[in-house]
Amino acid sequence: MNSAHFALGFGIGTQDSSGNWLEVYYPAPLLHPAPGLVEALNSTLGQASDNRLIAMDAAGWRALATALSQQQQDESARLADQLAASHRPGCVMLLAEDSPPTCVPEAYLKLHLLSHRLVKPHGINLQGLFGVLPNVAWSSEGAIAVSELPQRQLAARIAGRTLVVDAVDKFPRMSDYVVPKGVRIADASRVRLGAYLGEGTTVMHEGFINFNAGTLGESMVEGRISAGVTVGKGSDLGGGCSTMGTLSGGNSVVISVGEKCLIGANAGLGIPLGDRCTIEAGLYLTAGSKVLLISADGEQRLIKARELAGQSDLLFLRNSQSGAIECRTNRRSIELNAALHLNS
């Protein structure tokens, strides 16, 4: 038996009328599950060496709970026993390796691993994710296939209900699946499942965090953290600011913000930043932006912003007379208000 499995999830979810998965909820996903747990799965559900999806019913959950108890996997046994009472479609998703997702339950397990802080952004294979995830109507009655929405709306009206559609998207709200410890989210619809929120993170109403992106420690987020972007501990993204993700112009360059950085209100970032950097409010800095680099002794040199990628202690501002973007040594770093980020 191979004990080096990558991940495991016991889930329940939603299928359309044809039995196609729309979404899956994994209450306690596991990274590198214990050998005893995998052995219990193999003895109950059959042994396999590759990634596999197993459909579960009440009898299957109960049998699995018994096998897990025999292997002293008590926590997982309790979860399987609880899931046996569900009337929703159930599944076990076992990943032998971290390969590109090929089905909805596998994709959702990987998104859960990120939002449960079991893996960090860029620490898991999400190649082809968009092609796997279906477009779903997220409603007051749960996930609904877009093609079945009109009939569901009609049925609800006939029954005297109003079916409210909050979004039509491939990604649901993270908070409907997991709320990580020590975070504050003013508008839950602004954080997608698959976002990674470090403890102490505050996301205000205009903040947004995409999947496979997020904060690595306490941070103030009032701007946009695009797909693939990470923000270091102690940094502040001002209201309306934007970061260019790998899906929106950053291409293969991973945009990141270091520790104790400040991205001013309505500013933008298209290069990676080191630590203790500041971008003036309203200044959009792309990789191709021409920047006048001014040294401490007054020497000036015109360069492209990409030449400063990843460097620390930089202050970017726009000369109010000439309009030129300037870069100087940042002589001070920001300090977040600790009381705002306790989030207990």
Q: Which of 245, 3, 7 is nearest to 118 (CA)?
A: 7
| Contact present, 202 and 235 (Cβ < 8 Å) | no
Catalytic residue among 222, 259, 280, 335: 222
Count CB atoms within 10 A of the CB of residue 326.
17
Q: How many residues does the chain have?
A: 344
* Sequence-distant (≥ 6) Cβ neighbours of residue 123 within 8 angstroms: none
Active site residue 259: no
| Contact present, 162 and 179 (Cβ < 8 Å) | no
Count CB atoms within 10 A of the CB of residue 300.
9
- For residue 15, the surrounding DSSP H or E stretch is strand 7-15
Q: Which two tokens stand for residue 113?
A: 């691993």
| Contact present, 91 and 56 (Cβ < 8 Å) | yes
- For residue 59, the surrounding DSSP H or E stretch is helix 58-70
∠ CA 100-272-209 to the nearest 5 degrees? Answer: 60
CA dihedral over 9, 12, 18, 23, signed as positive or negative: negative
Report helix, strand or coil for 318: strand
Q: Which residues are catalytic?
A: 222
